[in-house]
Amino acid sequence: MREYLITHGLAKHYIDQAIHDVYSILESWRRRFEKGKIEFKPPLVKKGYVRVKTTLRKVVRKSVRITVKPHEYITYSWDKSWFSKRVEGMELTEPVIKEDKVYLVFRKELPSTTPLDVVAFDSNLFSLDGYDGEKFVTISLKQLYSLKYIMQMKRAKVQSIASKKLKSGKRLMEKYSHRERNRVNDLINKLANFILELYNNHMLVFERLNKQSMFDDASESLSRKLSRTVWRKLVSVLKYKAPLYGCKVVEVNPTLTSRSCPRCGWVNSRMVGKTFRCERCGFTLDRQYNASLNIMKKFLSKFNLRMWGFPHRKVSGVIPLMGVRRMNGLIRDFGELQGSRIEYKIYEIR
């Protein structure tokens, strides 16, 4: 294969990188197929690209010269680009060239830190419910869920049109799919920034959720609701951005987090309703906040640590999930963030 590709006249380093990328894609596809996550359908690269190795580019101040063929180059300068000041002091790594665009990838060295404060989140359809060792916090996901719902309804209408009109319908479908991805990704990034600014220098703990296994046990109505969640995408974005805020994101096994008592360990095998009640010790709490406590405990148990304080003293009252929440403490609305309203509430423990 290599000998054949060399005849195209490109620099040999491009050939080696292309072969390496092909093998990486096939290996990733093989692993996913063996785990049963995808059907037996070989991967297809629809849009060509090439990764420029460091040996094929030369950086001079705020410009880069990329070798295409022997003695043939293309030069790009970002001196007057909108991101010029943002990337000052960063290192240019391997640019990616597509058919009509060049993507410049910059790297910034960050100090290695280990956060000592921990906050654990339980991921739900309409909210992230967390516990930071002192208080509960609820971050609303309703805006994200509503956006997914509205875009799904629009996409269903577009699909009915696309099925009747071949080429124009296909272009219309691509347009709306692209619009949905952009809007959802924009809101996810704003939400991730909000969480990281709120809990900078923290260890963020989430459940390692698998939506596919949830679909197997869910009703048709619940499956539709689950399809509108973006838990994995949000955690992925948080992991990517966490080092910039001195944070670290880890995941734990979600088994029995909503069903077990954080105080005595009793497991409710018939969990019904929005409130967890322990039949052994009488511990009572909103089931989603209860899950955040157990997620915190699971994380700390990895280091042979235990959670002191809250699990061993009673909370003043039961906190219902829906409607007016009553508890001795502080309730406040965080307000506007980057043009997007994110509901944020704190519940102090007395």
Look at 17-31, 119-133, 223-237, 311-325 and tell me which has the smallest mean pLDDT.
311-325
What confidence score (pLDDT) does residue 34 get?
84
CA gap 328, 316 in Å, rounded: 7
CB-based contacts of 8: which residues, under 8 Å, 6+ apart? none
CB atoms within 10 A of CB 182: 10
Q: What confidence tier does 320 reach under pLDDT thresholds 50, 70, 90?
A: very low
Q: Name the residue type at position 60.
A: V
Share of the chain above pLDDT 90, in %: 13
pLDDT for res 32: 84
Structure tokens at 230: 């973006």
Rounded (10°) CA dihedral 242, 329, 299, 281: -170
Q: In this predicted model, which residue has the larger pLDDT, 304 or 120? A: 120
What is the C-alpha separation between 182 and 180, in angstroms, rounded?
A: 5
* pLDDT tens-digit map of 196-240: 999 988 999 999 988 777 777 777 777 888 888 888 899 999 999
Residue 340, pLDDT score = 37
Asked if residues 56 and 16 have their Cβ atoms less than 8 Å apart, the reply is: no
Lowest mean pLDDT among 40-44, 122-126, 218-222: 218-222
What span, in angstroms and rounded, lies between the C-alpha atoms of 247 and 197? 10
Of 64, 337, 66, the closest CA to residue 193 belongs to 337
pLDDT at res. 321: 30
148-186: pLDDT as tens digits: 888 888 877 777 777 776 677 777 777 878 888 888 899
Give the pLDDT band (50/70/90) at residue 341: very low
**Amino acid 294: pLDDT:** 92
Residue 118 has pLDDT above 60, yes or no: yes
> What is the torsion angle, in degrees rounded to the nearest 10, for the CA atoms of residue 205, residue 210, residue 211 and residue 215?
-140
pLDDT confidence tier of residue 323, bands split at 50, 70 and 90:
very low
What does the pLDDT average to over 28-44? 82
pLDDT tens-digit readout, 9-21: 667 777 777 788 8
Q: Which residue has the higher pLDDT, 299 or 345?
A: 299
Going through 162-209 in order, the beta strands assigned E by DSSP cover 202-207
Q: What is the CA radius of gyration of the chain?
A: 25
What is the rounded average pLDDT for all residues in the chain? 78
- Does the pLDDT at position 325 exceed 90? no
The band of 346, judged by pLDDT with boundaries at 50, 70 and 90, is low
Output DSSP code: residue 90.
P
338: left (phi over 0), alpha (psi -120 to 50) or beta: left
- The structure tokens listed for 175 are 């347009």
For the chain, the structural domain boundaries read 2-107, 117-348
Q: Over 50: is that where the pLDDT of 70 sits? A: yes
| Contacts with 115 (C-beta within 8 Å, 6 or more apart), sequence order | 201, 202, 203, 246, 247, 248
The more confident residue out of 231 and 36 is: 231
8-state DSSP, 46: -
Model confidence band, residue 331 (pLDDT cutoffs 50, 70, 90):
very low
pLDDT band at 4, cuts 50/70/90? low
User: What pLDDT does residue 337 have?
Assistant: 29
d(CA 286, CA 106) in angstroms, rounded, equals: 45
Q: What is the pLDDT of residues 291-312, one digit of tens each?
A: 999 999 888 887 766 655 444 4
Whether the model pTM is above 0.75? no
Query: Which of the two residues, 82 and 219, has the higher pLDDT score?
Result: 82
b/e for 297-335, b at 16 or more Cβ within 10 A? bbbbeeeeeebeebbeeebeeebebeeebebebeeeeee
